[in-house]
Structure 1
Amino acid sequence: MASVRQVQVTFDCAEPERVARFWCEVLGYVVPPPPEGFATWDDVDRALPPERQGSAFACVDPSGVGPRLFFQRVPEGKVVKNRLHLDVRVGTGLVGDERLAALEAECARLVALGAVRVRLLRADEFNESCLVMQDVEGNEFCLD
């Protein structure tokens, strides 16, 4: 039986490069170098047929630990809640007011990048507090 060695997380979106660059800022990811024979990603894009230009973009963890994120253009818009979302771990090990302060600070940074704050889920007997947010195209994610 084969075992999984790598995972890529794929986002359906309207503007792949815009969403990818947002997630680069959120996670400290980078845009990988273009394929051999191309100086820039713009050169790669111009080499594609017009209907494929701007249809995909990616970002990677510069340390090589996190999964590659791939963004692909789709014709339909987002209409319902995500069935899968990313948890951005900014409050690991923190509790109470210290955790809330870390979540709020990161929320402010991400709102400045175009994210939207949706709601704060306060700690209960099972879970610590987290903030539900949306990226630049309305995809939900949590600051955890």
Structure 2
Amino acid sequence: MARDVQITFDCADPAGLAAFWAEALGYQLQAPPGGYESWEQALEAMGVPPEGRNDASGLVDPEGSRPRLFFQRVPEGKQAKNRVHLDVRAAPGTEGETRMAALEAEAERLVAHGATRLRRFEPEPPLGTGHIVMADPEGNEFCLD
């Protein structure tokens, strides 16, 4: 039986973190429900008070093939290293210095959008192709692979 997958992020600022990941992955904000031109209009009609309008945010792949991303506000901050993380495939099909140059360029672009660079792992053939460990604006680790 086929199943859909949604990736959920617990966070302090759903709209802000969603904006980062939309930029990182080429996703877009999920459209508001039918009959509404904006989420602000929909939330107002649903009676959601202003202080609750950044409690959640959803992103979708414009092509419709990758999983939906959901961001939900939680009261506690990040406590420890992620047990699961995303690998952002920023240089598929490349090797060596070409690969690492592409990863460095993507790391620089994401730092400009609020990411933090944590560590670089050099290629170690035959199986280690090299990658860069990053953190999103709320400290969630991910790899540029």
**TM-score normalized with structure 2 length:** 0.92
Tell whether the 8 Å contact from 1:91 to 1:102 is kept in structure 2 after alignment: yes
Runs (4+) of structure 1 exceeding 6 A deviation are none
- Counterpart pick for 1:25 among 18, 23, 26: 23
CA distance in 2, matches of 1:87, 1:38: 35
Structure 1 distance, partners of 2:130, 2:21, is 22
Contact 1:26 1:110 in 2 (8 A): yes
SS in 2 for 1:48: coil
Report the alpha carbon displacement of residue 50 of structure 1 after superposing the two structures with TM.
Answer: 5.2
- The one-letter code sitting in structure 1 at the alignment partner of 2:97 is D
- 1:4 deviates by 3.4
2:25 is aligned with 1:10: no
How big is each residue's C-alpha offset from its partner over 1:67-98, in whole Å with a ceiling of 9 and x where there is no partner? 00000000000010011111000121211111
2:129 aligned with 1:128: yes
Residue 132 of structure 1 aligns with an amino acid whose one-letter code is V
Between the aligned partners of 2:65 and 2:123, the Cα distance in structure 1 is: 29
Q: Deviations over 1:2-26 (max 9, x none)?
A: x233110000000001000110101
Distance 2:56 2:18 in 1: 9
- State the number of aligned residues: 142
Q: Report percent identity of matched pairs.
A: 54
What runs of 5+ residues in structure 2 fail to find an aligned partner?
Answer: none
Normalised to the residue count of structure 1, the TM-score between the two structures is 0.93
Equivalent residue, structure 2, for 1:36: 34
Equivalences for residues 60-139 of structure 1 within 5 A: 60-125=60-125, 126-139=127-140
- The answer to which of 38-47 and 56-65 deviates more is 38-47
The answer to whether the 8 Å contact 1:45/1:54 transfers is no
Q: Name stretches of at least 5 consecutive residues in structure 1 with no aligned partner.
A: none
RMSD of aligned Cα (Å): 1.3
